[in-house]
Every structure is written in structure tokens, then in C-alpha cells.
Structure 1
């Protein structure tokens, strides 16, 4: 009798059941770059595991890289791989930002499977910490992200160039609506084969669990409608001015979108370079954008979210150099009136009716099934906090699940905290999660019975992802809360329409995709591999400030086969020789550095420390987002060129900047054969000089230098201290103390021996 489980040398026994559609897709994707589009809950990760098993068996000495966009997803996939793939757990490496770069080098060498977020792998490729030569499979979860400058694009491109036997597997439940976007994903990943299944595909139908979708229309009370009217009047007043000046066709707030206003803002920014009089219109456009956002918060989220929005604007208005438009908006009589009304309503315990409806739905669900798992999705942290607070007051076991980013007055969750919350939700310690978008992508919360959309999003991808949190192992329910006659309603129908369009597009594309990767594209990859090998012998080295790592410029330099050495530079962004250092500023950064008075100290530092410094200014859009007078910009440029004699090179974009830096470096290193000298800032005091003397010692940074000086009080005492005394200082230890003593006591040798 045939086993119900798949038997393979690289798969653990009794872990993956036979499913025809999974095995068919695995066979199809095992030898060609593929994109797998499969509804949530149908085992995309297990398909990746089966292909990994095939590749590891076929190619001895190879390793797998599995990427996911968030840390919780990385940890989830790691659990799946550890429980299914027959690989020593010591050879399964999970890379997070908490692991030091030096430690990752050794882990890369030992790994059979690496799981990470793409930014970490991108940085390791750029800095030469990883050799992808023997990587036999690159898995990209949520592959629809492989567009634009997202790290998936760069990692896939470099992988195809560097690996001997490359294979890419992209996984997604929702690749997007537009045919062009899907084609871009396929092009960026060199996809040769698409495997598509929908809920109605015959081979997956037996495994689909029913998801019941209901939507609840909610009406705003008169008190909130009153504030809505005030905000709309403030918006119309500004739109009328824009219409009178001929920049928009109508001031009807139902027909003008935030997207149109953002495009107009960009247009005005460009035209203002030659027409300074457009400044007032730019301010009105910026205010209009903020008012559309405020209206969306009021309609879909509630009073507290709107109050927090205005409070944050007020805090921003107090910062030097903040846009004048913010102050103009906050001093508008209508906005002042609206804020007073908002404050009074909140103090009177008036809430958005969605809050009461959410409470009612939760009560009904838990009365029917007390151990239910419920996820409530909202776009905004403020709303998540309010919902969480209300449910806790009702004694529900609820927790907020948000991302890691820290925001003003709201600290994000650490990777450890996110993992703990998911585990407690699965175990039933919490049975309600109030989640932002971090929980939308891929998280396997199989026990979820009910998903509540507190708000709707106009994205087919996010709609599908939210809905996919339920109906995985048993039937599930989705309830959408929609404020009648508002953006909520428009967003819902937009998402539904886009979902239908996406399915139609995929049906067509799946049939024609095999033609998308032309033979010349494959030849181009081979040619690039050859050229890369040729260039290795004459590689150019550039020292790059840590803050620039991960930028588009550094990505492009990597494509040009430059050896990137990351370090914390006190002066300049790029060092190409002992004489030439480069400071790079995008147009917006140039303006900001004028506002916060960083520009001239930076110019002074680079001209004082290097014989041939260069300033690269990227772009010429000086009048977009900051209220800096054109004369101030011209004055700064003249001073840089004449007073400091600092050459200015203009480039159009990061790619041209990289090519310019490459040309300068090649001239310095191959034609002149000069060495690279790393300068520090010119010390301004005895204390600075003492610290900088110590920073030259092994493993001693500025923090440790200060600690040593505070402990021993003088350089003389540090240099004469025995190893055991040095090792007692926090951050030194025995090994570092030994190296420090060796440098201090060893005779000078011009042969440059290693220590």
C-alpha cells in the first residue's frame, strides 16, 4: 500500500503528504526559473521545500537561499524547513540584523540553507561576505515585490551572474493587477515558467476551505459629519484656487484624488525652478494632500486617529525648516475650529461607530465559539491602539501586532516580541490580534476563524492577503466594515475589480510566458558572467561610508564589479585614493543640509583632509519639498566653488553617479596606481586627539576609546597597562587586549606583517 507521505532522501519521513498539484508544480519548476501563484494556505512553502530537496540531492555541495520580506515570515519558514527538510539543524542559518556581519561570513561558509530578509543578503553581496557560486536555489517568498528598487531585484540579478547552477523560485498568492507589473516581476527574476492555480482549479478544489465574506455598512453620526463638512470646506477653498490658476479641471472633492494632487505637487516643483511665484500654489497643493488624508482618517478610522494626525503636524511645524504649508494649515480658522470639536467629542467619549460594531461582532463570534481566533486588520497604528484598548477594557485576551519601525510616541515590536505574540495567539493565550499590514503577508495563522477588515484598501494584493489569513485548515469568515459613502466603499470595489482583473491577466500570461525570456536574454546573462570573471583580475576598490551601503549608487557600483569596503567614514561618502574623496548629495539632501547647517562644516572637513575632494550633486530638483529660496541655493553653490575651491560634478540619477565614481576610481587606481588613505575629521581638542590615537588600535572604536581613557586617565597608562588590566575594561576582553598589546610592543616591520 502506497504511503500517504512523500518519500525522498532529503525529506523527513511522514512530513509532506502527497498532493497532486504540489507534485505537478514541483516537477515543472525543478529545472527552470519559475513563478508559482497559489492561493493562500495551499502549501507554497512545501513546494519550495520539495524543490530544495531535489536540488540538494542533484548538486552535491550546493546550498539554498530562502528570502522573505519580514522577519516573522523568515522565522516561520525556518520552522517549516527544520520540520520537513532532512538537513542538520546546525547547517540551517537564520540571518537577522542582530547577527554581526563578521559572524555571518563564517555562517555563510557552513550553511546548507540560509533564511533571511533580502536587505541582509543584498548587503552581504555588495560587501563580498557571501560567494553565491554554489547556491543551487534562490527562493523568493512574496515575489510580487520584485519590482523597482526592492532588494529582490538586485539579489536575483547578482545570483544569476554569480551562481554556477542557478535556479529561481518565486512564490506569491497575489502578483498584482497590471500586466506590466507582472511582466516586470517575470523579467526581473528571469522567469521562464509560471504555474497558476486559483480556488477554482480542479486539482486544488478538494483542498479549498470555504471563506464566507460579509460586509457591514456603517453610517457616520451627525457630530462626526459636522467635522467632515468643516474639513471638506477647507479642502474646497484650496482646490478652487488651483482650478482658477488652471492646474486642475474641477474642485469637486469626489472627483479629485490624492494621487492627482501628488502628481500636481511634483509638476509644480519642477515649474517653480523658473517660476518662483508658484510657491503659494505648492503650499495649497501640499495642504490639500494633507486634508484628503485627514478626511480619510475621519471617515475610516475615527477621531483619535485624526487628532493624532494634527498633533504630529503641530510637532513637525515646530522644527526649523519645516514646510510653511503646515503652519498655514494649522493656523486656518476652519482647522482650529475642527480641532476644538474633535477634542470635545473625544472627551465626551464619542467614537467612530466602527468601534462599537467591532465590539458587537467580537462578542457574537466568541459567544458562538469561545475559543475562536480573530484578527482585526487596520492600516493605522493609532486605530490598532484604540481598538486594542477598547477590547481590553471588555476583558478580552487581545494584543496589538505591528511592525518593527519606531514612530513618534509608538515603539515598534522587536523580532522576538512578534514571534512571542504569534505563538501566544496560536496557543490561545491571546485569541484576538489587532494587526497592521505586517500580518497581511504570508504569516501562517492557521487557527484563525474570523478576519475583520476595520478598513478597506484599494489594493488587490493586500485584499487577497488579508482574506488569506482565514480559511486555511477549516472554513473561515471575513467581515468588512465599510463607512457608507466614503473612501471605504470606493476602496472595496476597487480591490474587488482589481482581483478579477488579476485573475484574467494571469490566465492569459500563464500561456504565453514561456516566450518572455528570449534566447538573447539568456546569452546576455552568460556574457555578463564572462565579463565579470575577466574584471575580477583588475577589480577596483572603493571605501564606502556605512550609511551609503544599500543605496542605488552602491548597487550600481557592485554591478560594475567594484570591490566595496564598508566602513564608518568620518569624512566623505566614498574614498577612491589617498588624494580623492567624494561627497555625494542628492538634490533634496543638499537643500536639507543648507537648512540644518551641515553643508559648510562638511565641505570644510573634506577640503581640509583631502588634496582632491569632489562634490557630486545628484539631480537638479532644488525646489520640490523644501522652502529654500533659489538665491540661497545659488549662494551656497558659488561659495563651495569659489571660497572652498571644491569641484562640483552634476549627475542625473544614482546610476550616473555610480558610473562617475567608477570612472574617477579607475583613473586613480589603474592609471595612477595610488593607495587609499582614510582620513578622520580634523581634531578640535586634546580630548579628540587622544581618542583618535586609540581608534587606530585593533577593535577600538570611539566608544571604546572613551571608555579606556576614562578607566586609565592617560594614553601613557593605557600603553603601559598589562593585558589582564586592559581585558577588564568593558568591551575589550582577552583576545582584543592581546592584540592591543601586540601592536604596542611589536617592532615596526615594513613587510606589513599580519597581527
Structure 2
């Protein structure tokens, strides 16, 4: 069992246990057979899984490479006798389609969005992203959620915790909510959903975009990619934000404590009056503040008194 680096001339069959998204790895693996005669390739693809997407992407890119190689060969005009003196061969990337590059989390390939983006000529790099589903350049990270998934995550899991990680992963985090009506998905008060959207946009600084379906989502991601790469319009500089006021700076210092946040930071500063007073407060005094239980009290006390190492 193996792939690259094997040289067994008698090999006449290569079986792919699963499809691979990289056309280069696919070609390298296929090259293990057919060295001393005809060879056969078998690719196992499980319907309804990312295997179908990987197989499609790989085949499409291989066709593009073959078309590019044929085009270069037919237009070179170099006599066969002179080809031995031709300059070194170009890198394989030069034969691939040119277009925007988007990094895609491999867990997202089960959606049709990846297939649609590939059909649009977008170059996709599949891999595991630390957070988000799509990454564009080094500034934009995109989390895609269907309306149902958004509401389910809000009720059953830690939606804001997940999006907080997203917000810290790139300067321009984006949340795409796809399809459906958020307010009719589950029996949740509309104000709870409105409050969540407000927290995501205002507190976490995540841009929220709504799309109709997977096709619309792919189109939106492509527009974001073209804008980031320059596109047809010059990208305007972001408006310069005024510095934080002294009050905001105090709140941010206390909010940076583990599991405190802005809301509890304001409660603490209202109660004690200054950062110094919060830091020097004994545990029993911290417990008197609204929202500060024993766990948060202990966290503040231990952190403020721990030796720096």
C-alpha cells in the first residue's frame, strides 16, 4: 500500500480508496501503473460525500492542464531536432487555470458551494482551516451557516463562542447566513435572534451577509474574492477609527480577564471605581458584584496575584 515514490514496473492496477482534490497528487498516484504496458485505474467514490466533489475538482483541473499542454505544444513551432536545446520546462502551475484563489476547509466540501466555485474557474485549495469555512487572502475569513444551522447552534451549542474564535482569526471576519427565514426555524422569540445578530455585528465586529441558496453563496464569495484581489474597482481604505476613550480603555483592560467580557467589566468598574481597586479587591468583595460568582472571583484573584514567569 503506497503512493508517490514507488517504482514497480509490473504494476498494472492502482486503486484509489478515496478521491483526492489535488490534480497533481492524482496524476502522481496514477503514474505508479502503466510503466511497462497498459495499466488500469480504479477510484472508489462514495455518493453524497466529499468524495464526489474531490473527484470532480481533480478531473476538471486535469483536463485544464492537458488542454494547456496541448495548446503550448501546438503553438511552440520548435522543430523536433531543436527541442533538446529548448529552455527548461515551465513549472506545472503555469498550465493550470488562472483565477482567484480561495482556501476551503475540507469539512465544507460536502456542500455544492465548492463545486459551483470550481465551475466558475476559481482555484480552490482544500485543507483544514483553524476556523471558518473559506479564507480569502490574509484578511478575510468566512463562516457559512444555513439559517437552520444558525438557529440550532444558537440553541444547542455555543454559537457566540464559535464566532468569537472566528472574529479573532482575521481582520475581516464574515458570516454568511444562507436560505430560509431565521425567525421561523424554531420556536424562539424574535428578539433573541435580533439580539444575537446585534452581538455578532456590533460586539464581535463580524460582517453578516444573507444569501438565498448555495448558488447565491458561491456568487457572494466570488465577489468578495475579486474585491480582495483588486477586481475592477480600487479598494478604498477603511475609515480611520478614533481612539478609545479613557472609559473604554478601562473597560477593555478588565474585559481582557478570562471569562469576564465587557458586560461584567462594567459591573466591576461601577462597583469598585477603578482598575486598581478591582485588582486589589479581596475575593469576598468581588462576590458582591452582579454576575461575578465564585469561579470568576477566583479567576480574577489568582491572575492578579500570580507570579509572572
Residue in structure 1 matched with residue 11 of structure 2 by the alignment: 90
Aligned equivalent of 1:650: 210
Alignment of 1:5-84 (within 5 A): none
Q: What is the alpha-carbon distance in structure 1 between the residues aligned to residue 149 and residue 136 of structure 2?
A: 22
Larger radius of gyration: 1
Cα distance per residue 1:426-454 (max 9 Å; x no partner): xxxxxxxxxxxxxxxxxxxxxxxxxxxxx
The 2-side partners of 1:537 and 1:129 are apart by 10
- 1:625-652 deviations in Å (ceiling 9; x for gaps): 5433322212111211222222111100
- Alignment of structure 1 residues 575-614 onto 2, 5 Å: 575-614=135-174
1:126 corresponds to 2:78: no
CA drift of 1:105 comes to 4.5
**Deviation of residue 98 (structure 1)?**
9.3
Aligned counterpart for 1:629 among listed residues 189, 193, 201:
189
Task: Describe the shift of the 1:129–1:552 C-alpha distance in structure 2 as closer, same or farther (beyond 3 A).
Answer: closer
Does the Cα contact within 8 Å between 1:617 and 1:648 map onto a contact in 2?
yes
Aligned to 2:44: 116
The aligned runs of 1:351-500 (5 Å cut-off) are: none
Q: CA–CA distance in 1 between the matches of 2:41 and 2:10? A: 9
Task: Note if contact 1:544-1:575 (Cα within 8 Å) is conserved in structure 2.
Answer: yes
Superimposed CA distance per residue, residues 211-234 of structure 1 (whole angstroms, 9 cap, x where no aligned partner): xxxxxxxxxxxxxxxxxxxxxxxx
Q: Kindly tell me: are residues 94 and 538 of structure 1, through their superposed partners in 2, closer, same or farther at Cα, counting changes over 3 Å?
A: closer
Q: How many angstroms does 1:597 deviate by?
A: 3.2
Distance 1:123 1:550 in 2: 9
Give the Å deviation of 1:624: 5.5
TM-score, scaled to structure 1: 0.23
User: In the aligned structure 2, how far is the partner of 1:609 from the partner of 1:547?
Assistant: 18
Change (3 A) 1:669 1:98: closer
* Cα shift readout 1:678-707 (whole Å, capped 9, x = no counterpart): xxxxxx99xxxxxxxxxxxxxxxxxxxxxx
Shift of 1:540: 0.9
Secondary structure at the aligned position of 1:558 is classed as helix
SS of 2:182 mapped into structure 1: coil
Report how far residue 594 of structure 1 moved.
0.2
| Residues 1:89 and 1:637: Cα distance change in structure 2 (over 3 Å) | farther
Question: Conserved in 1, the CA contact under 8 Å of 2:53 and 2:114?
Answer: no
Distance 1:668 1:592 in 2: 31
The answer to whether residue 225 in structure 2 is matched with residue 665 in structure 1 is: yes
For residues 630 and 571 of structure 1, the distance between their equivalents in structure 2, rounded to whole angstroms, comes to: 28
CA distance in 1, matches of 2:156, 2:136: 28
Q: Which residue of 2 aligns with 1:186?
A: none
CA–CA distance in structure 2, aligned partners of residues 105 and 626 of structure 1: 48
Which structure exhibits the higher relative contact order, with contacts defined as CA atoms closer than 8 Å and separated by 6 or more residues? 1
CA distance in 2, matches of 1:562, 1:100: 14
CA drift of 1:104 comes to 4.4
Consecutive unaligned residues of structure 1, counting only runs of 5 or more, are: 1-87, 136-160, 165-534, 674-683, 686-755
Structure 1 residues 633 and 543: alpha-carbon distance in aligned structure 2, compared to 1, 3 A threshold: same
Note the C-alpha offset of 1:614. 1.1
Describe the shift of the 1:668–1:134 C-alpha distance in structure 2 as closer, same or farther (beyond 3 A).
closer
Does 2:132 match 1:568? Answer: no
Kept after mapping to 1: 8 A contact 2:179/2:213? yes
For 1:628, what is the secondary structure of its paired residue? coil
Change (3 A) 1:632 1:580: same
Q: Distance in 2 between matches of 1:134 and 1:580?
A: 29
The answer (yes or no) to whether the contact 2:64–2:96 under 8 Å persists in 1 is no
CA distance in 1, matches of 2:133, 2:159: 14
Q: Is the 8 A contact 1:587 1:617 kept in 2?
A: yes
> 1:612 Cα shift?
1.3
1:127 is displaced (CA, Å) by 5.7
Measure, in 1, the Cα distance between the counterparts of 2:206 and 2:158.
16
Counterpart residue number, 1:640: 200
Gapped regions of structure 2 (runs ≥ 5): 1-8, 34-38, 71-94, 236-256, 259-309
TM-superposed deviation, 1:116: 2.5
Deviations along 1:162-199, one digit per CA (max 9) or x if unpaired, are: 9x9xxxxxxxxxxxxxxxxxxxxxxxxxxxxxxxxxxx
User: What is the Cα-based RMSD across aligned positions, in Å?
Assistant: 3.9
Shift in Å, 1:571: 1.5
State whether residues 151 and 185 of structure 2, in contact with CA within 8 Å, keep that contact through their aligned partners in structure 1.
no
Instruction: Kindly indicate whether the alpha-carbon contact (under 8 Å) linking 2:116 and 2:218 is maintained by their aligned counterparts in 1.
Output: yes
Shift of 1:100: 10
